[in-house]
Amino acid sequence: MKPSETSAAWTSQRNGDKLAFAFDLGNASSPAGSFSSVGCAASCHSNLGSSVMYPSSGKVDIWNWDLALSSPLGYAVDMVANTDSLSHDNGNRLYYRNSNGNTGRSGPAYEWDGSTQTVTLPNGQSSILDPAFYLFNKTAFIGNIQRGDSIYQSATPPGDCVSCHGSVGQGGSSSIINTISQNKKSRAALMASMDNIADMAPYWLPLSQQDRDDIVAYLRGLSGVPGYYLNTPDGSNADIKAISNLTPIQVKNAMLPVTNVHTVYQLLITRKLNTTNTDDAQFDLTTQRSYTFGVALMDNDGKNHIGSLKETLIFK
């Protein structure tokens, strides 16, 4: 679903593949009924027809695997929906908003620092996160985007980048520079590369360091900066582990502005029956062998999801 806001400021769609489970955590209920009788309808929509994810009493444990925000680090997000909020479990979270202000439209606080983003997954394997999509090793985002824009668009050099690369980096007599692949270069590497392009010398070399930083801030705006940065979770946020056979190529295809072409992939989610954390549903097989739960699937779309309201998990 397209957001109704304008695209005049920074924006992030928050779309991506997600798979969410909901388990009762303290007798959740809504006008639709109790969790044990109606499943997810007790948790997700206290006012039926609204998209508010809160029960009207009790709490619900939400397990949310997210292609962009939890999968790269090998987890599913662990959350609790209670009567007035949907909040993360205790501990360091898997991701934080990459914003320098109070809203997602304020612009990024961080960008990639240029170092290889090697992470250790909960299963002990290591993985390298592609900076085109994921922000993990970060440094402060610097530069004045508006100033960079005006130097970029100036009618005469220095600046005047528009004459070869187009008004929004879409390309012209020279290359397209507004693609996410630009994020594979750190700020320093991108500047060094520009220093060495002979055609660009009169336009780029006379600029001050401040001018250059402002232009790169503008270029980052054109190519996009991850709207969240990832973080190694701990405490109750590290309870739900996930492995999938999703490859970066499939992720890349899913993010291209064409139809969603990624094919089938599989996902294995594991969690201890008893985490001993108070913000988790526990499974005590000595007292109870069947548990009501709900499941929802988001196919590259956070708002329109399909779900089953009531499922039963039976331990045999």
DSSP 138-171: EEE--S-HHHHHHHHH-SSSSS-THHHH-TTS--
**Least Cβ distance, residue 157 to ligand HEC (angstroms):** 7
Bond preceding residue 157 cis, omega within 30 of 0: no
Least distance CB 84 / ligand HEC (angstroms): 46
- Shortest Cβ distance from residue 153 to ligand HEC (Å)? 10
Shortest reach from residue 304's CB to ligand HEC, in Å = 36
Interatomic CA distance for residues 141 and 107, integer angstroms: 9
CB closer to ligand HEC out of 204 and 293: 204
Q: Which CB, 196 or 304, lies closer to ligand HEC?
A: 196
Q: Is 194 exposed, middle or buried (0-12, 13-18, 19+ CB in 10 A)?
A: buried
- Specify the residue, 190 or 309, whose C-beta has the smaller distance to ligand HEC: 190
Q: How far is the CB of 9 from ligand HEC (least distance, A)?
A: 21
- In sequence order, the β-bridge partners of residue 75 are 241
- Compare residues 159 and 226 and give the one whose CB is closer to ligand HEC: 159
C-alpha to C-alpha distances, 16 to 97, 122, 166, 270, 304, nearest whole angstrom: 16, 22, 30, 21, 11
Dist CA 97 CA 110 (whole Å):
10
Q: Which is closer to ligand HEC, CB of 201 or CB of 269?
A: 201
| C-beta of residue 231 within 8 angstroms of C-beta of residue 77 | no
Closest-approach residue to ligand HEC (CB): 161
Residue 72 CB, nearest distance to ligand HEC (Å)? 24
Report the DSSP pairing between strands 241-244 and 228-230: unpaired
d(CA 304, CA 297): 9
135 in Cβ contact with 119 (< 8 Å): no
Nearer to ligand HEC (CB atom), residue 177 or residue 242: 177
Q: How far is the CB of 224 from ligand HEC (least distance, A)?
A: 14
> Where on the chain is the footprint of ligand HEC (CB under 6 A)?
159-161, 163-165, 174-175, 177, 190, 193-194, 197, 199-200, 203-204, 215, 219
Amino acid of residue 289: R
DSSP string, 160-207: -THHHH-TTS--SSS----SGGGGGS-HHHHHHHHHT-GGGHHHHTTS
Nearer to ligand HEC, 197 or 261 (CB): 197
φ, ψ for residue 146, nearest 5 deg: -65, -40
Closer residue to ligand HEC in complex, CB, 26/158: 158
Q: How far is the CB of 225 from ligand HEC (least distance, A)?
A: 15
